[in-house]
Amino acid sequence: MAHESWRVFKIMAEFVEGFETLSTLPPGVSIFGSARTPAGHRDYENARILAADLAKRGHAIITGGGPGIMEAANRGAHEAGGISVGLNIALPHEQEPNPYQTVKLDFNYFFCRKVMFVKYARSFIIFPGGFGTMDEFFESLTLIQTLKIDPFPVICIGTEFWRGLHDWIGTTLRDKYKTISENDLDLVTFTDDLEEAAQIVEDFISGKSELGRMYPTFVEGQGRRPAGEGTREGVKSRRSAPMLRPDEPGI
């Protein structure tokens, strides 16, 4: 229908507003975690402390703008006098934005919002959370593993929470089924040490990190050319055989 084609302008508007707003910020750190974590909880307080530390080091703190861990991270950055970004999303049950955002954007489309998390972040810090948190965790690893973006630190805080997933990835995906490479788990740091997490971010942004040398990043020619949304352009897929018609054998 005709109105479907016009929807692209709403999508374009979200990208334009996001690019224009966030492109002027210093290097960002995207912090994820459960919207259900209450103030006073250990994870909430750790997110608040870590975000404050990173903000004092000059990094913009980027969250989804909601309650829980998102609120804690925005609160820590705000209390430290830093840049506190909230990428809010319109949901059917209405997300309640937290009051600690110094830069606030509103999105209708998850995919536009997710581009902003990646394009303007130099590290991901991930606290315990649910499906949305896991989505960001695995998407970041997918983009790095496929060389669609240069590797950056992915740091998971809370070893007790993450231990089962870490073990399953290692024993099932890597060792038993071999569906990931031997060194893919090395892309993630699991820790309870907030100072270690902050130092990993600092070392990477200052160019002292071993991450780029540990994981292959070189792509030749056109494959390495950057795309505007923060990824690499890549090489177009090659067609090795003629496409079959629907009435031909094999369909």
pLDDT tens-digit readout, 52-109: 999 999 999 999 999 999 999 999 999 999 999 999 999 988 678 999 999 999 999 9
Domain membership of residue 240 (yes or no) is no
Mean pLDDT of 199-222: 75
Return the minimum-mean-pLDDT range out of 35-39, 194-198, 207-211, 236-240: 236-240
Domain membership of residue 58 (yes or no) is yes
Q: What pLDDT does 238 receive? A: 66
Q: What pLDDT does 219 receive? A: 55
Domain membership of residue 234 (yes or no) is no
Mean pLDDT of 196-209: 94
Question: Per the structure, how many domains does the chain have?
Answer: 1
Mean pLDDT of 234-250: 66
**What is the chain's mean pLDDT, rounded?**
90
- pLDDT band for 239, please (50, 70, 90 cuts): low
Domain membership of residue 165 (yes or no) is yes
pLDDT tens-digit readout, 26-39: 999 999 999 999 99
Domain membership of residue 242 (yes or no) is no
Domain membership of residue 249 (yes or no) is no
Q: What pLDDT does 35 receive? A: 96
CB 186 within 8 A of CB 214: yes
Question: What's the CA gap between 108 and 1, in Å, rounded?
Answer: 20
Domain membership of residue 250 (yes or no) is no
SS3 231: coil
What's the token pair of residue 108? 């209708």
Q: What pLDDT does 200 receive? A: 97
Q: What pLDDT does 160 receive? A: 98
Question: What's the CA gap between 205 and 27, in Å, rounded?
Answer: 8
SS3 29: strand
**In the chain, what percentage of residues exceed pLDDT 70?**
87
Higher-scoring residue by pLDDT: 23, 216: 23
**130 is in which domain, residue-wise?**
2-219
**CATH code: domain of residue 121:** 3.40.50.450
List the strands of the sheet with 28-32, edge to edge.
103-107, 84-89, 60-63, 28-32, 121-126, 154-157, 188-191
- The identity of residue 165, as a single letter, is L
Domain membership of residue 237 (yes or no) is no
Instruction: For residue 107, list its beta bridge partners.
Output: 89
Instruction: For residue 31, list its beta bridge partners.
Output: 125
Angle at 92 between CA 87 and CA 95, to 5 degrees: 40
